[in-house]
């Protein structure tokens, strides 16, 4: 007897170049006009706006040079944040076809975190971001 497995649509766990927030104009606009909230140890700044690439969301990551003097530590924290985002980004709903979102994650903690801490904060932030997007979608509709 053969067992038939249920074939599900594959979930993309990649974080491609197009999904990275690199545009100086978009970043400036994000920090001047965007909204923010805390999901300790992360601060999340986001804005629904038009992006230069045809992707639903672009994300950027930052760690304070004032708190973490060594580039090795800053780079490690950014790697942890990118990995946590990459594994959990499917929690973000896809916005309407003509809407895109720019998101920036800033690490504001004072100590070097573990991956578990970063992933927990990232999940919390993405849930809250999804709620904010749903509310914005309801207001416009």
Q: For each of the domains in the chain, give its residue range(s) and CATH number, in order of start.
A: 17-140 (3.30.230.10)
**pLDDT category, 104, cuts 50, 70, 90?**
very high
Encoding tokens for residue 106? 């800033």
- pTM (2 decimals)? 0.82
Looking at residue 118, what is its pLDDT? 95
Cis, peptide link before residue 41, omega less than 30° from 0: yes
DSSP state of 113: P
Cite the beta strand spans of the chain per DSSP E. 35-39, 42-48, 57-63, 101-107
- The residue written with tokens 């990649």 in the block is 14
Condensed to tens digits (0 to 9), the pLDDT of residues 61-102 reads 999 999 999 999 999 999 999 999 989 888 776 655 567 888
């Amino acid at each position: 007897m053969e067992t038939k497995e249920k074939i599900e649509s594959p979930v993309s766990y990649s974080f491609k170049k197009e999904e990275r927030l690199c545009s100086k104009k978009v970043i400036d606009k994000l920090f001047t006009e965007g909204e923010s909230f805390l999901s300790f140890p992360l601060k999340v700044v986001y804005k629904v706006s038009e992006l230069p690439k045809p992707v639903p969301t672009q994300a950027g990551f930052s760690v304070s040079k004032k708190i973490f003097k060594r580039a090795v530590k800053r780079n490690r924290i950014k790697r942890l944040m990118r990995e946590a985002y990459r594994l959990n980004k499917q929690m973000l709903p896809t916005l309407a076809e003509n809407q895109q979102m720019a998101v920036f994650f800033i690490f504001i903690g004072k100590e070097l975190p573990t991956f578990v801490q970063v992933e927990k904060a990232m999940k919390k932030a993405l849930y809250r971001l999804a709620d904010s997007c749903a509310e914005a979608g309801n207001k416009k509709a």
